[in-house]
């Protein structure tokens, strides 16, 4: 029980008024940057990194604890309210969260996200404290073949589970993979899908794709429905940022399922929190279909928001443990944190706990404190954020467009990115118009480069032997889960088709009977 003793010593150092002040400052700053559309937790840490250089190491990393989780808490806020997530890990939370906001449940959605982020972060940090050595052993078992198998599992599972139509899901995945391959092929130096445009040699930035497909696509979609559907612009926010006991009981299993998805992925550099958040979302969607949940995909399901939000923060919590124990950054945010450690002359890894044990345990204690502070802060601010929806909608959507364009231009100062933003916005509009799911496209963009890189590495190490891709127990287990997921999905789709056909036949029979009765009545 040495971990508990050391953690208590860390709490004793962290709860001094001086250190608590830095936790609060970090939480406020991280949340403020994370809330801004297009900016995420990694951007929050990067922008605020220079502020900490004048502080001593303990105070600096205590402040980083607040920034680290504060950015994660803020990522989903813009996604829920404006359909513009801060970064990829908040995309899955946006789908049902924005539907809830559009249905007058913005404050409830924000409260659900805040509590889910708290639960996911709390459980994952507890696992880090007690099970870090075992987590490290699991992480070291993953090689290129395992990463490739994991990417394939994410492709197939999400495309088949999330989409109502397997064909449409695979089509969306193909579009996402095509977008991810734009640019110069690193090993050969050959341009791909650039059409001779030099500005495309570096590829299309994920932020441009996310903002274009989600934000600008939503603006085009709403604009096309103004005349035909006056209710399209009716956004409202009523109520306060709290959950009823019934809502809490409904969301709790989803929070726990999301945490179970997210915690293992924080140990694996396989695309950050995007994979577990989409898997958690897909699981909740399949369960909603099975249970006949009418809210999912319509008015917004609290379970569809709770699970990915908990998964994202659970991934972030175990990612911090992997960074401290192995020195291995498993996300962009963790990579910036690694740079901060090196700035102070420290190298995360097994020896960090021996050489700077007091600092490490103070940092871990500060992360727990930051979670509590951020929960209270976000529940308090949720009604305030929700009041953004009271802005007249033509101003709000115009503001979303302007902010999105300015944010994209600020990243690269490229007019080409603005043109790509509009093209992708039109693509997002068409996908909404013809009911093509967005999730497979986004997961294809995020994991496409990872899958390609790890496939090439695995084949290079094995000298072209394809058998190396399925030779380890981990890869065999992943492929078995993949085939099981595909089989279950196909069976479910066939059942849905049969039910729809039976419903149509019943409707036709009822129409004929009604017609016959009408004729008899006339006679």
265 phi and psi, to 5 degrees?
Answer: -70, -20
Q: Is the Cβ–Cβ distance between 86 and 295 less than 8 Å? A: no
Residues 489-517: pLDDT tens digits? 677 667 767 766 766 666 656 666 666 66
- Coil, helix or strand for 184? strand
Q: What's the mean pLDDT in 95-108?
A: 82
> What is the structure's pLDDT at 13?
81
pLDDT level of residue 301 (50, 70, 90 thresholds): confident
> What is the structure's pLDDT at 344?
74
Mean pLDDT of all residues in the chain? 77
Cα-to-chain-centroid distance, residue 135: 22
* Torsion, Cα of 137, 143, 149, 155 (10° steps): 90
Residues 14-29: pLDDT tens digits? 888 888 888 888 888 8
Report the chain's terminal Cα–Cα distance, integer Å.
89
Residues 47-68: pLDDT tens digits? 666 666 677 777 887 887 788 7
> What is the structure's pLDDT at 50?
67
Least confidently predicted of 249-263, 305-319, 377-391: 377-391
> What is the structure's pLDDT at 227?
63
> What is the structure's pLDDT at 204?
83
pLDDT level of residue 389 (50, 70, 90 thresholds): low
Residues 200-235: pLDDT tens digits? 888 888 778 877 887 788 788 777 776 665 555 555
pLDDT greater than 60 at residue 161: no
49 phi and psi, to 5 degrees?
Answer: -60, -45
pLDDT greater than 60 at residue 240: no
pLDDT greater than 60 at residue 81: yes
> What is the structure's pLDDT at 74?
77
Angle at 75 between CA 362 and CA 27, to 5 degrees: 35
pLDDT greater than 60 at residue 241: no
38 phi and psi, to 5 degrees?
Answer: 90, -15
pLDDT greater than 70 at residue 427: yes
| Residue-by-residue DSSP string for 379-445 | HHHHHHHHGGGGS-HHHHHHHHHHHHHHHHHHHH--HHHHHHHHHHHHHHHHHHHTT--SHHHHHHH
pLDDT greater than 60 at residue 520: yes
Q: Is the Cβ–Cβ distance between 306 and 254 less than 8 Å? A: yes
Higher pLDDT residue, 388 or 210?
210
> What is the structure's pLDDT at 326?
66
Q: Is the Cβ–Cβ distance between 83 and 214 less than 8 Å? A: yes
Residues 269-297: pLDDT tens digits? 554 677 788 888 888 888 887 777 788 87
**CA–CA distance, 78 with 81 (Å, rounded to integer):** 5
pLDDT level of residue 131 (50, 70, 90 thresholds): confident
pLDDT level of residue 139 (50, 70, 90 thresholds): low
């Amino acid at each position: 029980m040495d971990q508990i003793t050391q953690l208590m010593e860390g709490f004793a150092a962290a709860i001094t008024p001086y250190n608590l002040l830095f936790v609060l400052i970090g939480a406020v700053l991280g949340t403020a940057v994370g809330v801004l559309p297009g900016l995420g937790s990694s951007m929050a840490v990067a922008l605020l990194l220079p502020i900490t250089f004048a502080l001593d190491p303990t105070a600096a990393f205590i402040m980083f604890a607040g920034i680290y989780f504060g950015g994660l808490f803020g990522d989903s806020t813009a996604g829920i309210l404006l359909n513009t997530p801060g970064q990829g890990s908040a995309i899955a939370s946006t789908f049902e969260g924005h539907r809830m906001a559009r249905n007058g449940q913005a404050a409830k959605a924000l409260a659900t996200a805040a509590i889910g982020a708290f639960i996911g972060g709390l459980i994952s940090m507890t696992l880090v404290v007690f099970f870090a050595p075992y987590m490290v052993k699991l992480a070291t078992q993953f090689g290129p073949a395992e990463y490739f198998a994991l990417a394939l599992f994410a492709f197939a599972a999400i495309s088949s589970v999330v989409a109502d139509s397997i064909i449409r899901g695979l089509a969306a995945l193909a579009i996402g993979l095509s977008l991810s391959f734009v640019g110069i092929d690193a090993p050969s130096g050959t341009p791909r899908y650039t059409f001779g445009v030099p500005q495309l040699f570096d590829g299309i930035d994920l932020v441009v794709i996310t903002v274009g497909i989600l934000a600008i696509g939503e603006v085009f979609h709403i604009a096309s429905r103004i005349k035909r559907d006056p209710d399209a612009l009716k956004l409202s926010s009523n109520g306060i940022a709290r959950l009823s006991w019934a809502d809490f009981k409904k969301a709790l299993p989803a929070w726990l399922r999301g945490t179970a998805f997210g915690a293992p992925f924080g140990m694996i550099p396989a695309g950050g929190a995007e994979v577990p958040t989409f898997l958690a979302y897909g699981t909740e969607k399949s369960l909603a279909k099975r249970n006949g949940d009418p809210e999912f995909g319509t008015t917004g399901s609290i379970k569809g928001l709770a699970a990915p939000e908990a998964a994202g923060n659970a991934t972030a919590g175990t990612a911090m443990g992997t960074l401290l124990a192995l020195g291995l950054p498993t996300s962009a945010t963790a990579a910036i944190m690694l740079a901060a450690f090196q700035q102070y002359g420290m190298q995360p890894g097994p020896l960090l706990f021996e050489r700077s044990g007091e600092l490490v345990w103070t940092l871990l204690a500060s992360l727990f404190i930051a979670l509590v502070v951020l929960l209270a802060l976000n529940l308090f601010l949720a009604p305030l954020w929700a009041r953004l929806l009271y802005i007249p909608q033509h101003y709000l959507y115009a503001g979303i467009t302007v902010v999105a364009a300015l944010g994209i231009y600020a990243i690269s100062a490229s007019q080409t990115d603005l043109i790509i933003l509009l093209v992708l916005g039109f693509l997002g509009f068409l996908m909404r118009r013809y009911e093509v799911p967005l999730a497979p496209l986004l997961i294809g963009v995020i994991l496409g480069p990872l899958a390609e890189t790890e496939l090439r590495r695995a084949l290079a190490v094995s000298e072209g032997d394809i058998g190396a891709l399925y030779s380890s127990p981990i890869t065999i287990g992943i492929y078995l889960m993949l085939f099981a997921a595909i089989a279950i999905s196909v069976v479910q789709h066939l059942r849905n088709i049969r039910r729809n056909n039976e419903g149509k036949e019943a409707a036709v029979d009822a129409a004929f009977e009604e017609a016959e009765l009408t004729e008899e009545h006339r006679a």
